[in-house]
Amino acid sequence: MSKRRVKKIRGTRTCGGGSHKKRRGKGSKGGKGNAGSFSRHFVRSLKAGIRKGKHGFVRHHPLALREKRTVNVGELEEMLPELLKTGKAERREDGSVFVDADALRIDKILGSGKVQTRMVVKAKEISSTAREKIEQAGGECILLS
């Protein structure tokens, strides 16, 4: 519209919108407030910095994320006799015990407790104190990548 036309329309009751009953509800604007910020007005909401919604803009639902399952080195050593019986750990020829933490569904080995048994531990993550204690006892750590 030209500037002249806009000035002319502004003086009228409905500003060129037809009947006064039209353009009434929020449906004519595409919703009220931040409606459609995750669908039809997504770009507008990104530009405005609106981070609403039940969980905001996140890639994964927070309930789908699980905590890491951890075990201390001392607890792992206490579990060794039972693990050897059930076959979840194996004794090697050199006298060390091989433990696969990933097979036991353990994500990280922590360093609390004492280690006296020589063991080879294979895990996704091992803390620095756990690594020191295992290596002081003559064992070794293998990290999964």
Domain range annotation of the chain: 29-65, 70-143
| CATH fold label, 70-143 | Ribosomal Protein L15; Chain: K; domain 2 (3.100.10)
* Adjacent-strand bridge partners of 62: none
Q: What is the mean pLDDT of residues 68-93?
A: 94
* pLDDT at residue number 52: 63
Report the percent of the chain where pLDDT is more than 70: 90
54 pLDDT above the threshold of 80: no
Q: Is the pLDDT of residue 104 over 80?
A: yes
pLDDT of 78 > 70? The answer is yes
CA distances to 23, 31, 35, 51, 59 from 40, in Å: 19, 10, 9, 15, 19
**Number of residues that make up the chain:** 145
Please tell me the distance from the alpha carbon of residue 76 to that of residue 143, in angstroms, as a whole number: 17
Asked if residue 51 has pLDDT above 90, the reply is: no
